[in-house]
């Protein structure tokens, strides 16, 4: 009952008719693929200089997604602008006057934007993988190897969930600047830094991005972890669910 074709169509028109959709998603794809390809080429060239340990735990599939740490920032911008752009422009009042059922409005919008992020995420992950493997030369892996298809598919899912999480946060905060000001440093700096600090590591591994990234790894990291790839994705999904619930509650409780 929440989704009606009419509202979904309307949200599709909205998302395709602003240029930010195009440039955020295109940047996500290009940045991820190009950076991953560069890192793969570099790894291939420098492979013999790697430590014994690094060579043993080398993850050919995971390396071909290494550009995603930067590319995900564009996905965050996409998610934030889709939702918070309604508030910053004032469009939200026009939108809610047309669709006063808050759940129908919010979840239709999220569904359309998430579907788009899913398609772009999958194209990005498959392109990153195949280009990356081609550049890894003799160190490459194949899509048929155990766990590899899961990792490639998972990388696309990861991007989709990052978008959805950003949309939930933006629905809670209602301001593009505030949302970006919190999400960008968190995913780009704080989470990554904390994950490298010995004590904070145990907490940081439950952060949405740290947990979600497990799905892209084929060779498990050496520091024995508390959950597997799907467990990690589950933790990320829980974060997303909380963000969405929060976003919905804010939208339905507060004045537009």
Partner 1 sequence: MIELEGLTKRFGDKLAVDRLTFTVRPGVVTGFLGPNGAGKSTTMRMMLDLDHPTGGEVRIDGRRYARLKEPLKYIGALLDAKAVHGGRSAYNHLLCLAQSNRIPRSRVDEVLDVVGLSAVARQRTKGFSLGMGQRLGIAAALLGDPEILMFDEPVNGLDPEGIHWIRHLMKRLAAEGRTVFVSSHLMSEMALTAGHLVVIGQGRLLADTSMSDFIGQNSRSFVRVRTPEPERLRDVLSAVGVSPQVAADGSFEVADMEAAKLGELAAQHHVTLHELSPQQASLEEAFMRMTAESVEYHAHSTAGLADAPGDREGAAAPRGLEEGGDGGVAGGREDGRVGDRVGDRVGDREGGREGVPVWGADWSAKRRKGSAR
- Interface residues with partner 1 (CB under 8 A) are 6-7, 9-11, 13-14, 17-20, 85-86, 89-101, 253, 255-256
In the complex, the smallest distance separating the C-beta of residue 88 from partner 1, rounded to whole angstroms, is 9
Which one, 90 or 185, has the nearer CB to partner 1? Answer: 90
In the complex, the smallest distance separating the C-beta of residue 253 from partner 1, rounded to whole angstroms, is 8
Question: 155 near 118, Cβ under 8 Å?
Answer: no
In the complex, the smallest distance separating the C-beta of residue 94 from partner 1, rounded to whole angstroms, is 5
Spatial distance between the Cα atoms of 3 and 106, rounded to a whole number of angstroms: 10
Spatial distance between the Cα atoms of 11 and 105, rounded to a whole number of angstroms: 9
Question: 211 near 235, Cβ under 8 Å?
Answer: yes
Where is 116: in which H helix or E strand? Answer: helix 102-136
Where is 71: in which H helix or E strand? Answer: helix 68-89
In the complex, the smallest distance separating the C-beta of residue 117 from partner 1, rounded to whole angstroms, is 19
Which one, 20 or 192, has the nearer CB to partner 1? Answer: 20
Which one, 223 or 255, has the nearer CB to partner 1? Answer: 255
Which one, 18 or 245, has the nearer CB to partner 1? Answer: 18
In the complex, the smallest distance separating the C-beta of residue 222 from partner 1, rounded to whole angstroms, is 47
Which one, 97 or 196, has the nearer CB to partner 1? Answer: 97
Residue 189 is given by DSSP the state I
Angle between helices 102-136 and 5-16 (to 10 degrees): 50
Spatial distance between the Cα atoms of 66 and 132, rounded to a whole number of angstroms: 10
The number of residues in the chain equals: 256
């Amino acid at each position: 009952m929440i989704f009606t074709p009419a509202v979904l169509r309307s949200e599709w028109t909205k998302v395709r008719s602003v240029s930010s959709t195009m440039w955020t998603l295109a940047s996500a794809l290009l940045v991820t693929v190009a950076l991953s390809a560069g890192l793969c080429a570099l790894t291939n060239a420098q492979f013999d200089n790697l430590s014994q340990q690094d060579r043993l735990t080398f993850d050919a599939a995971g390396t071909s997604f290494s550009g995603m740490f930067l590319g995900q920032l564009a996905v965050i911008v996409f998610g934030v602008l889709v939702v918070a752009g309604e508030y910053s422009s004032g469009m939200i009042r026009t939108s809610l006057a047309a669709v006063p059922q808050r759940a129908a409005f919010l979840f239709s919008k999220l569904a359309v934007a998430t579907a788009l992020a899913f398609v772009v995420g999958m194209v990005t992950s498959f392109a990153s993988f195949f280009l990356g493997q081609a550049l890894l030369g003799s160190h490459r892996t194949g899509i048929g190897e155990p766990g590899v298809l899961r990792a490639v598919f998972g990388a696309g899912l990861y991007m989709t969930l990052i978008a959805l999480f950003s949309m939930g946060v933006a629905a809670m905060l209602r301001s593009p600047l505030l949302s970006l000001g919190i999400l960008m440093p968190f995913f780009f700096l704080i989470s990554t830094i904390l994950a490298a600090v010995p004590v904070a590591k145990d907490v940081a591994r439950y952060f949405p991005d740290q947990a979600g990234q497990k799905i892209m790894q084929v060779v498990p990291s050496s520091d024995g972890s508390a959950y597997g790839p799907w467990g990690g994705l589950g933790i990320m999904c829980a974060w997303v669910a909380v963000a969405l619930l929060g976003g919905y509650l804010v939208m339905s409780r507060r004045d537009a």
